[in-house]
Amino acid sequence: MIGRRLVNGVEGTGIAADDRGLAYGDGLFETMVAVEGGLRHFDLHMARLADGCRRLEIPQPSIEVVADDCRRVLEGLGSATVKLIVTRGVGPRGYAPPDEPTVTRIVMAASAHSHEFDTSRPMVVQLCRTRLALSEQLAGMKHLNRLEQVMASAELRHSGMDEGLMLAMDGRLVCATACNLFLVRSGRLLTPMIRDCGVAGVMRQVVLRAADTLGIPATITDLEPDALSGADEVFLTNAVRGIRPVVGVSGIGQYVGNEVTRRLIEHLAPGSA
């Protein structure tokens, strides 16, 4: 299950106990999928990482170096996930970022369960009680401050649910614990704006681009939870799991339609893109 790990390119090393990634969640991550040796949407993952590094003022590791790390951890693995963590590195005690940080770069591979990639497996989800706090300064980034997602995921334990939908503190419907959210209503895609909470998912971007190519109109807007009741189709997206149809939201609705979701899945299936 657990594959190779590189820390700043060195195999088998641990992380320093005073790394700011651990101390403060002062860093970013990306989880990518490798299929037949190639990393899917590597450019989009690197673009999001670059944006996060710029916003947090963390020096961005070279893309060539990251790509090389990924190649090394993937050697000999078939389908796998690769997780990249970039932190502001070690530093003296205190929140203040060092003037010239030396980033820590971690690349880990894990062979993936085939069911994770099986987009035909529909999901049943519930609404989580844990809400997303609002902060424009942190929204969109895949940073290492993820206690909200941890607490929301803990709600799903022993529930039989595949995922949990999350509302913002002000009640807007935003995403799932580890996925972005799309609704389809009257042939139109709807997905929540990521402006003050949530992660700007790579697969979300891929789906919006695919919709454009396919001539499916899309609206990126604030959504209230009752939008779920009026939806014809609901699906979740995530870089590892792709597009996953939702057949039911516990206590809210069931979705039998799948026309738009199917078109997107087929368009993005390996070999069709």
Q: Could you tell me the smallest distance in angstroms from the CB atom of residue 158 to its own copies?
A: 9
- The sign of the torsion formed by the CA atoms of 14, 58, 94, 132 equals negative
Element (H, E) at 88: none
Q: Could you tell me the smallest distance in angstroms from the CB atom of residue 23 to its own copies?
A: 7
Element (H, E) at 68: helix 63-74
Nearer to its own copies, 179 or 231 (CB): 179
Nearer to its own copies, 178 or 265 (CB): 178
Distance CA 231, CA 221 (A): 15
Nearer to its own copies, 117 or 257 (CB): 117
Looking at the DSSP bridge assignments, the partners of residue 92 are none
Nearer to its own copies, 141 or 223 (CB): 141
Q: Could you tell me the smallest distance in angstroms from the CB atom of residue 209 to its own copies?
A: 26
Q: Could you tell me the smallest distance in angstroms from the CB atom of residue 120 to its own copies?
A: 21
Q: Are 217 and 223 in contact (CB under 8 A)?
A: no
Binding site residues, its own copies, CB under 8 A: 1-2, 5, 7, 13-26, 29, 31, 56-57, 81, 83, 85, 87-88, 92-97, 99, 106, 108, 110, 130-131, 133-135, 137-138, 143-154, 156-157, 169, 177-178
Looking at the DSSP bridge assignments, the partners of residue 104 are 87
Cα radius of gyration (the chain): 19
